[in-house]
Amino acid sequence: MAFKQMFDEFITKAALHTVMERFPQDYKRASDEGKIKELRKATEFTIVEVNQMLDAREKGYKLKDVLAQLPGDRINGMVRALGKKTFEMTTDGQVVKVTRDGAMFLPDISLTCLNSNRNKASKLQIASIVVECVILILELIGVDIPDDEEEVKKAIQIALDALDKSKTLINDVDKIQKDYENGDYPAMAKDIFVLVVDSFHEGVFWDITKALLSDMPWYDWIITSAQIAAFIAMLVATEGVAEIAELVAELADAAFFLEKLANLANLKEMEMKTKWDCQCCDLLRFNLIRQKLPIFFKSTKS
């Protein structure tokens, strides 16, 4: 057996094992109904597609041309993903408004120093970036994501919970933002894939994906999960991010996704200013108390 064939077989087995481990009930049902062969075929098909993407450069083709020959409208799907508005975040004075299609998506967030959640807006924006990076990869694989508000809310909450447990995804988004600010879109696009792989390793990728596709019938879901597992495994095993990242960088150039990164920078700046204002307020309150209780301060001084 040639090495390439052995490698692809290894990826297939790894993908199927991931599905079996992550979704044991669905996998068992597929096995009981004799559907494992179809799972394997879906996995092998995805591996072939990824190989086509990775070989595009060597054959002198642009990845965009290769994707155009694959089933489904991958390019427009990726464009939609980069422009996907999980929600829109705007600031009005010391209030952050979170809207979707012009209507309130989540309650307003106050950034005043009396608010104990001054970093809540930043985390919420980071969560939206995490979810949208996952959506981008799913669209690249050919998984169409329904634009359902309730599913988006579930996915955002899952991302928020993950941010509270680990700093990995926060650091990944920081890296994306820094490369964006430096105008290095290819590096930024690679960072997106790093974030997705990290979310995959931490388990939150599957939770977000399941939330976004919660209405998908079980059989379609188990097939889709096998394709996703194979795609991620191929990217990790081949370090094949560069070719795909180049296309993502090209598509991201005029995307709403970039506005979120700029917005995150503004929120961080506002958060720092708010903390500074709060320190000033604390000092002012301290001085006022000191003026009202001179006897106490004199006694402690002596």
- What are the DSSP calls for 131-185, one per residue? HHHHHHHHHHHTPPPP--HHHHHHHHHHHHHHHHH-SHHHHHHHHHHHHHHTT-H
For the CA atoms of 60, 176, 110, 153, what is the dihedral angle to 10 degrees? 50
Residue 66's pLDDT is 77
Do 158 and 211 meet the contact criterion of CB atoms below 8 Å apart?
yes
Instruction: Render the burial of 196-232: b for 16+ CB within 10 Å, e for the rest.
Output: bbbbbeeebbbbbbbbbbeebeeeebbbbbbbbbbbb
Residue 118's pLDDT is 65
| pLDDT averages per 10-residue partition of the chain, 302 residues | 79 91 92 92 89 76 77 77 77 82 87 65 89 88 86 94 92 91 86 90 92 92 92 79 74 68 68 52 52 50 47
Rounded Cα–Cα distance for residues 129 and 4 (Å): 35
Structure token digits, residue 275 = 């903390």
Instruction: Give the pTM.
Output: 0.81
